[in-house]
Amino acid sequence: MPETRPQPMPVAVVTGFLGAGKSTFLLHLARRYGGRRIAWVVNEFSRLDVDGPWLRGEGLEVTPAPGGSLFCACLASTFRRAMGGLADRPADGALHGIVVETSGLTRPGPVDTMLDEFGLGDRLAVSSLTTLADAATLPVACDALEAAALQIAASDHIVLNKCDTASEEQIARARALIARLAPGRPVHLTARAAADLDPLVPVRGGRGAPGAWAAAADAGVSVVCLERAGTVDARALLSALEAAGTTLLRAKGIMNTPEGALKLDWDGARIACQTLSAPSEAPGLVLFPRPGQEGPAQNLLRRLHRGEFDPAAGNGIAEHPANR
């Protein structure tokens, strides 16, 4: 009898603009998959790996890929090593699938072709591309950067997230935009990214997004990384972020404060804070300024280096509006 070749391992690609809820969606999937052994590849546009340590703290087996877009030539070798290492797992550590979370600034590329170029096409196959979108801010995101619209257009599934905090009018505008960019594609309306779908179930039929490797990162996008080894005054830092808020597409990070580690997330409209159980070993904050509005982010970096956010007696996070 002819030898039966094993089926390729499914690879689900999860994308979505900055702050749409991709990492929350990964946590939702992890709970859904239960005892299934899944590997999670997390791509950060900045050099700081913000989400990886947080997701590992939630029990996910994370392979980080910071420093650019996975579909850019600048990260080709990193992506190849990550996917090759997962495909080469011995039988006793074999995976049920791989979920790849791309940077929020990613322009979707021909993932299937890339795996073939890596020599992995017979062992790994893209099952689907799922895009997360913020119901309240999707039209603004698509106006700000072309990548947001390209992510929607390349999708197999679209998760319209944060519907619990968006108005009916905002949801209607977002759905009309999705219908124009990705006609006929299923749209899942969710709060906290709890979509009833399994992206590891194949729906692609071997098709990939058109195009080729990007030669370099998007020239229209900049990123400011704030690294701080000591502690900061959370209230002062949050106030500075709120003041710069209209100039930022996104801000996220983990900073150590006298009260403990604080995970910060600004999605362009709201600041969310989460107190973590243990101090961060690599605290830092990543700012994504709007094109042409880099000044406030760079000024915040200078203020941090000057020590303007050093802890002061009586300051903390308990009374900050973001935590009420």
pLDDT at 120: 92
Q: What is the pLDDT of residue 4?
A: 59
For residues 155-171, average pLDDT: 96
Q: How far is CA 203 from CA 24, 156, 181, 209, 286, in A?
A: 23, 7, 19, 14, 34
Residue whose C-alpha is closest to residue 213's, from 116, 81, 291: 116
Whether 74 shows a pLDDT value over 50: the answer reads yes
307 burial (CB, 10 Å; 0-12 / 13-18 / 19+) is: exposed
Residue length, the chain? 324
Percent of the chain surpassing pLDDT 90 = 46
d(C-alpha 306, C-alpha 252), whole Å: 21
pLDDT tens-place string over residues 252-276: 888 999 989 998 888 777 788 888 8
Three-state helix/strand/coil letters over 271-299: EEEEECCCCCCCCEEEEEECCCCCHHHHH
What is the residue-averaged pLDDT of the chain? 85
Instruction: Give the range among 107-121, 175-189, 211-225, 288-302 with minimum mean pLDDT.
Output: 211-225
Residue 312: its pLDDT value, please?
65
Q: Which residues of 103-119 are buried (b: 16+ CB within 10 A; e: fewer)?
A: bbbbbbbbbbbbbeebe
Q: Within 10 A of 170 (CB to CB), how many other CB atoms are there?
A: 18
Q: What are the chain's domains?
A: 9-189 (3.40.50.300), 224-323 (3.30.1220.10)
Angle at 202 between CA 197 and CA 204, to 5 degrees: 110
Q: How far apart are CA 100 and CA 97, in angstroms?
A: 10
pTM of this prediction? 0.83
What is the rounded (10 degree) CA torsion for 297, 300, 301, 307?
180
Question: What is the radius of gyration, based on Cα positions, of the chain?
Answer: 20
